Amino acid sequence: MAVNAYRETTEALLLPRIIRLGRNLYGAAFTLMKLVPARHILLKAERDGALGPATTIVETTSGTFGLALAMQAALMKRPLVLVSDPVIDPPLLRRLTDLGARVEICAEPAEVGGFQEARLKRLAEIRAEQPDSFCPEQYENPDNPASYSIVAEHIERTLGSVDCLVGPVGSGGSMCGIARALRSGGRQVHAVGVDSHHSVLFGQPDGHRTLRGLGNSLMPGNLDHRTFDEVHWCTAAEAFGATRLLHSTSALFQGPTSGAAYLAARWWAERTPDAKVLVMLPDEGYRYQETVYDDAWLAAHELTGALPAAPADVADPTVPSDRWSRYAWGRRALAEVRRTAGHAGGAGPFAEGTR
Ligand SMILES: Cc1ncc(COP(=O)(O)O)c(C=O)c1O
């Protein structure tokens, strides 16, 4: 019997390679993690009739979700409009347009919510002008986290069980979706989310962030705070340094959100030697060759320096700091953590025992 051994691009690149990085530490190295929700959402919309032959796909993104959508839309021969901002890097912009996407750049940030809010406003205008449109809405669409069950199955097939899952958080889709699926059989999986300072995701006030791809200016509906046992925040310099460390020690050429997650995962695995730890490494390093992988660029932007050996434990996670920090979130809602932090006040020793 003939077997179709071929797959289309987005399907062939979908699942991560599971790579051993240390005695008890494994990496899930993706080519482009966002292919998982992009492919799932667009194919489902086509099946459900929400995405007809002439429907325009519209989305707001300045990162890898746009690239994943552009790849999938090109394969499905669907028009795609992406609303982005000036932070989008020229190589990504060139790839998007090569894939046939129309990219609209919002020049000015909104007063509240920054560029993300400005992009959402422009997206709403485009949708009003173009009634036959479909928006994947990665921040709110429950199909984003749901799409990751295929990754959880792959992890279980490859590693059996996992004791600790570490990963960067942007929309919340990947970490919440994978943790939920891994825990569905009743397994205990400790989830560590990695954010950047000045991101609103885990309660800090919005501010300027050099590290992109994780963190957010607006709270995504797909972020279920109760997924997380522990949250880490790091600076751009620390994430970039860890990205380079991952490359120089493991020959894994990944992007800076992978580095941020690796920073926390490496430390966690070392201090918990009996646990099997898996770290999510969402994209490859090619986009960052002129920045994260360029020593002169790092020095010019004052983004160099030795990596701290451990995070600073904080009692109030809502206060941004200028170094890698950590808080025992304890699978609580944000409001609950805020209340506790309000009582605890400023910095203080990390309370063990919430794990
Ligand atoms: C490179 C990269 N890493 C990590 C993330 C965070 O993943 P999620 O949105 O699933 O939380 C994103 C989100 O856009 C990303 O682009």
Distance CA 276, CA 160 (A): 10
Residue pair 223/193 in contact by the 8 Å Cβ criterion = no
How many residues in the chain? 355
Q: Is the CB of 66 under 6 A from ligand 1?
A: no
Instruction: Determine the pLDDT at residue 2.
Output: 62
Q: 225: helix, coil or strand?
A: helix
Q: Two tokens at 101?
A: 């996407």
Q: Is the CB of 257 under 6 A from ligand 1?
A: yes
φ, ψ of residue 168 to 5 degrees: the values are -70, 155
Instruction: Determine the pLDDT at residue 216.
Output: 87
Domains (range + CATH), the chain? 9-34+143-341 (3.40.50.1100), 35-134 (3.40.50.1100)
Q: Is the CB of 170 under 6 A from ligand 1?
A: yes
- Give pLDDT tens digits along the chain (355 positions): 567 788 999 999 999 999 999 999 999 999 999 999 999 999 999 999 999 999 999 999 878 999 999 999 999 999 999 999 998 989 899 999 999 999 999 999 988 878 878 998 999 999 999 889 999 999 999 999 999 999 999 999 999 999 999 999 999 999 999 999 999 988 999 999 999 999 999 999 988 888 988 998 889 999 999 999 999 999 999 999 999 999 999 999 999 999 999 999 999 999 999 999 999 999 999 999 999 999 999 999 999 999 999 999 999 999 999 999 999 999 999 999 999 887 444 333 333 322 2
Atom of ligand 1 minimally distant from the CA of 169: 11
Choose one of 65, 225, 257 to mutate for the ligand 1 pocket test, by most ligand atoms within 8 angstroms of C-beta: 257
Q: Is the CB of 222 under 6 A from ligand 1?
A: no
Closest CA to 228 of 179, 265, 188: 179
Instruction: Determine the pLDDT at residue 354.
Output: 28
78 alpha carbon – ligand 1 mean position (Å) = 24
Instruction: Determine the pLDDT at residue 1.
Output: 56
Q: Is the CB of 171 under 6 A from ligand 1?
A: yes
Q: Is the CB of 177 under 6 A from ligand 1?
A: no
